[in-house]
Amino acid sequence: MSSAWSLQPPRHINLKLTALGCALPAIALAALLLLPFLGTPFTIDDPIYLAEAQHVLEDPLHPLAFDIVWSFDIQTRVSNLSHGGLAEPFLLVPTVLAGNAEWVAHLTEILLLAVALFATALIALRLGLDRRGATIAALLAGAAPAVIGMAGTAMPDVPAMMYSVLGLERILAWRDQRKWPQALLAAVWLSLGALTRIQTILFLAPAFVFLLDGITWPAVRTSIRNGYQLFIPLAAVLLIVPSAIWLAADPLADTDPVAIHQTYSSLAPILFNACAFFAHWVVMIPFSIAWLLLRWRNIPWQIWMVALMGAVVVALKFGWVSFVAAAGAVALYDLLFQAVRHRDRDQLALGLCLFPALSLAYYVHLPCKYIVPSIPAAAILLAGMLPSARAAVERWLTGAALAASVAVSLLVLVGTRDLALAQRQAARELVAPRVQAGERVWFTGHWGFQWYAEAAGAQPAVWLGDVPQPGDTVVVSLIDQGPFVQKWTQKSVVARVTYDHPGRVMDKHAGAGFFTNGYGWLPWVWAKGDANVFEVWKIE
């Protein structure tokens, strides 16, 4: 298979300066997309990470050791919730110190994304891509809707991407130059990645492949037997990550870790989430579409038939997305098959980088944000494959991929902003005046609404424990359908307000689920009808 990289180490005089030059167009594009949205309110899971950042200022050794009302509308320890890792709240400390200013959080994400794009270009150069290839790789990674969409929040996915690509870049430097500071930084970055999004610990597998002399069995045995010291950074990660989790454990945790794991996971969503995983590689970055356009003549018809038959069977349950997922599965299969067939160590390692999110198929959902740390590897693979096409086709495909990515990214950013603005507006209009009037006000609903409702003086409603009393007011967000809404019946609805925009990233009825595939398969939809509804209840 023709590609733009070789197995020879690059010979640039100043590789990092060259990488910076290659990454600058991508950094500029990402900034151009994101800077107009610096004022976007906090949304989705931002509040929990902001609360952790506030707690870090009081207890930096135990970021998750405090109470919160979150997923089940009951008060519990943050350490009982299966979400992000330990490292994210420290990145939001500047935001908290700046008075919880939204622009500080968003600017932080932009800066972290810039570092990730630099590291992406640097990896591309280390793997032998020329300057044009490294520039295209950074542009594809920086324009991907999943990346840009998550960079418009304060969540840990872009930081996890940054740590992961920095770690893999240092692994390649360690492989080529054997300097111990490179090994140390590789272990630190990969550990921070796993402590930000735990599935990124699986980047140890591609890191292991990168360090091998080759991917034949004799080469693997020789590498392990004669070069075992090369794998010390990987062993260090396996020591650092559990040690950090143990040292930072909540001393007052009231739930066994196994019970937490079982609360959020089961066998039921595996097929559903696997479909989402493969579909993301078609919709949220134009990797699979471009790969199949370049490779479709070379993929055996038997593979197409197996994928089609599997899609037909799965479509009986999940509909059209099964065919999209089948296309993504064919592209990923072909990528790995060709890497093994041609004994291409670097392509195999990059291919393995695409799969950590699949390990979360047992989780309650598998949104596109979980593939964000893998997108730089996909961009490098695609940039390496593009030169196999004719020059005109390469230019057309690159332009089309970037244009489509930018268009969808903008739609997602606008939809996220509108959703977040509605959540903040609801707190200001429905919560704050009632608190100021002396009413005892509760709220139910999460996402950004929780952050702004608490700031306005309301307290979270629960259905067990200290519950709302007769005469109290509860402001209810219906879009996320929390347990309190479903369980509480002793109330009268005194007001109903809709804050809707037709461009939506979260609409269960229209199938938009950028932040969770449980709401739908599409990152954005144009739809009518109520999607973001609030009610004001009087408790009887």
State pLDDT tens for residues 31-52.
999 999 999 999 998 999 999 9
Among 341, 371, 388, the domain boundary falls at: 388
CA distances from 307 to 271, 301, 312, 324, 368 (A): 15, 10, 9, 10, 22
- According to DSSP H, which parts of 144-203 are helical? 145-151, 157-177, 180-194
Q: Which residues of 415-434 are buried (b: 16+ CB within 10 A; e: fewer)?
A: bbbbbbbbbbbbbeebbbeb
Phi-psi region at 535: left, alpha or beta (left = phi > 0; alpha = psi -120 to 50)? beta
8 within a domain of the structure (yes/no):
no
Same domain, 292 and 184: yes
pLDDT in the model for residue 260: 54
| Domain limit, last residue, from 339, 369, 388 | 388
Q: Phi and psi of 24, rounded to 5°?
A: -55, -45
HSE value, Cβ hemisphere, 13 Å, CA-based, for 360: 28
Give CA separation, 29 vs 61, 110, 196, in Å: 37, 11, 26
Contact between residue 153 and residue 416 where contact means Cβ atoms under 8 Å apart: yes
Distance CA 93, CA 11 (A): 40
- CA 519 to chain centroid, in Å, comes to 17
Q: Is 405 within the bounds of a domain?
A: no
Residue 60 domain-assigned (yes or no):
yes
Q: Where are the beta strands (DSSP E) in 4-122?
A: 67-69, 75-77
239 within a domain of the structure (yes/no): yes
pLDDT of residue 501: 86
Same domain, 358 and 477: no
| pLDDT tens for each residue of 388-442 | 777 777 888 888 989 999 999 999 999 999 999 999 999 999 999 999 998 899 9
Q: Say if 64 falls within a structural domain.
A: yes
Q: Residue 467: pLDDT above 50?
A: yes
265 falls in which pLDDT band (50, 70, 90)?
low
Q: Is the pLDDT of residue 8 over 50?
A: no
Residues 197, 344, single domain; the answer is: yes
- Write the CB contacts of 201 (distance below 8 Å, at least 6 apart in sequence): 190, 193, 194, 237, 241, 356
β-pairing verdict for 533-539 and 67-69:
unpaired
| Identity of the amino acid at 150 | M
139 with 43, same domain?
yes
User: How many domains does the chain divide into?
Assistant: 2
- Is the domain of 56 the same as that of 170? yes
Range of the domain at 173: 15-388
Compute the CA torsion angle 247, 250, 254, 259 (nearest 10 deg): -60
Question: Does residue 215 share a domain with residue 93?
Answer: yes
Per-residue pLDDT for 87 more than 80? yes
Q: Are residues 326 and 379 in the same domain?
A: yes
Whether residue 383 is found in the same domain as residue 420: no
Q: Is residue 192 part of a domain?
A: yes
1, part of any domain: no
Q: How many whole angstroms separate alpha carbon 141 and alpha carbon 25? A: 12
pTM: 0.90
Give yes or no: residues 292 and 420 share one domain.
no
Both 151 and 298 in one domain: the answer is yes
User: For 363, phi and psi rounded to 5 degrees?
Assistant: -75, 170
Residues 240 and 319 in one domain: yes
